[in-house]
Chains A and B, each alone.
Chain A
Amino acid sequence: MHNFDFVKPSTIADAVKALSAEGAQALSGGQTLTPTMKQRLAAPATLVSLTGIAEMKGVCMGADGLSIGAATTHATVAKEAAAHYPALAALAGGIGDPAVRNRGTIGGSLANNDPAACYPAGTLGSGATIVTNRRKIAADDYFQGMFTTALEEGEIITGVTFPVPQKAAYVKFNQPASRFALTAVFVAKFADGVRVAVTGASNDGVFRWTEAEKALSANFAASSVAGLTVSPDGMIGDLHGTPAYRANLVKVLTKRAVEAAH
């Protein structure tokens, strides 16, 4: 790994200032960025750690829903969100392994937007709002393709606010070596309709399966998606699964998520 300067600010304002330097890069839990830097796929001049900023940590239930600080670890979300939003807590508790969950953060996961990551599905499936140091971004506008987001240069996620649905579930088909999603589906039933978000399947990253949303909004039952088909066009094909295999998983996992929703 190439060397770099390391800074660890304690406020959002100081972090934003540090990130304005040439070649500066934000570091959250580092469970993706550290291995990436070891492979020299990233070589920042300065790493700005976001893990020492108290105002970016914690889980709290408010009028707009469940707010989670961007630097909150998966382990903390798994524990502290359980009483408020069990499906989201379960999603956090299934990321990676216990040691990864003790370091990895929700903000880091969303900023990276790995096409097989779990949090993008929970965030898009909930219709959550991503809060940054500059603005609020609706999940529908935030995810813009594989490893691509609406974040601008020097913009950092400070928190995420989740509306809590009546019922929800996340069902992940594990890629057993990486423990990322080979394909996974998040289903959330709100008073005004159902949202279905799919990760791990598409070359464009997380997406909403709008056909299933329509069918499930009319009748929230696994049988509602039985007659639908998912096109393998644009699906990921690799040694773990073909595009057709993933397209089929989308449907199977959506049915399972509807059955598991509570």
Chain B
Amino acid sequence: MTKVTMTVNGKTVSREVEGRTLLSSFLREGLGLTGTHVGCDTSQCGACVVHVDGKAVKSCSTFAADVDGATVKTIEGMNNPDGSLSVVQQAFQDHHGLQCGFCTPGMVMSSAALLAENPKPTEAEIRHYLEGNICRCTGYHNIVKAVLAASGQDAAALAAE
């Protein structure tokens, strides 16, 4: 067992973990933060995306011990300090950027990472960036609309496909 310490959603947490403990297990089972979803568990689907030191990573393919000392943000840490939804989350709600909702935590985390890098992405850039996030309901169109809206661009202009 190894002791790891991280700052998760602004709080410092320490836990004893096995070498094989994945960051996704650390968050879900260790800290009870079950908003991070495990979809494929093979690093294809992106439901488990969280931010590690500000960068989007797949928590199911990262060992907890390897990110000892890191600052981690999960979907539970995405809301505004007053508890209201962040701009990205609100845009997903406004544009119904989800169907069953299983992929949504990863979609929101990836979208937030995109907007941090590229505040005004084009539709093509959004679709390209979200390549590693799979929606089994195939509800991509409204997700793209939500990201466009969250970036302050006109989502209505996006033609229905």
Contact surface of A with B, Cβ cutoff 8 Å: 1-6, 8, 27, 30-31, 34-35, 37-38, 47, 49, 51, 75, 96-100, 102-103, 177-179
Contact = CB atoms under 8 A, between A and B. Distances in A.
B66 interface: yes
Interface in B8-55: 18-20, 22, 41-44, 46, 49, 52, 55
A3 B58 contact: no
B71 interface: no
B56 A4 contact: no
A6 B2 contact: yes
A114 to B, nearest CB: 14
A37 B66 CA distance: 15
B114 interface: yes
A178 B58 CA distance: 15
A51 B20 CA distance: 16
Given A97-B131, A98-B132, A99-B56, A30 B19 contact: no
Given A31-B43, A38-B41, A98-B113, A4 B19 contact: yes
Given A3-B18, A97-B133, 9 more contacts: A8-B65, A34-B43, A47-B63, A51-B66, A97-B46, A100-B132, A102-B55, A102-B57, A103-B62
A31 B66 CA distance: 13
Given A34-B63, A99-B132, A179-B131, A3 B42 contact: no
B20 A31 contact: no
Given A35-B43, A98-B114, A103-B57, A30 B20 contact: no
B54 to A, nearest CB: 10
B61 A34 contact: yes
Interface of B: 2, 18-20, 22, 41-44, 46, 49, 52, 55-58, 61-63, 65-66, 68, 110, 113-114, 129, 131-133
If over half of B's interface residues share one DSSP class (helix, strand or loop), that class is named, otherwise mixed; here it is mixed
Of B61, B65, B110, most buried by chain A (CB within 10 Å of CB) is B61
Nearest to B113: A98
Nearest to B52: A102
Nearest to B42: A35
B66 A27 contact: yes
A42 to B, nearest CB: 12
A3 B63 CA distance: 12
A118 to B, nearest CB: 15
B131 to A, nearest CB: 5
B19 A96 contact: no
B132 A97 contact: yes
Contact of B66 (A49, A75, A98): A49
A96 B43 CA distance: 10
Given A6-B63, A30-B66, A99 B58 contact: yes
Nearest to A103: B57
Contacts of A6: 2, 19, 63, 65-66
A98 B19 contact: no
30 contacts: A4-B19, A4-B20, A6-B66, A27-B63, A30-B62, A30-B63, A30-B66, A31-B43, A34-B22, A35-B61, A38-B42, A47-B19, A47-B63, A49-B65, A51-B66, A75-B55, A97-B132, A97-B133, A98-B110, A98-B113, A98-B114, A98-B129, A99-B49, A99-B110, A102-B52, A103-B57, A103-B58, A103-B61, A178-B44, A179-B132
A87 to B, nearest CB: 19
A1 B132 contact: no
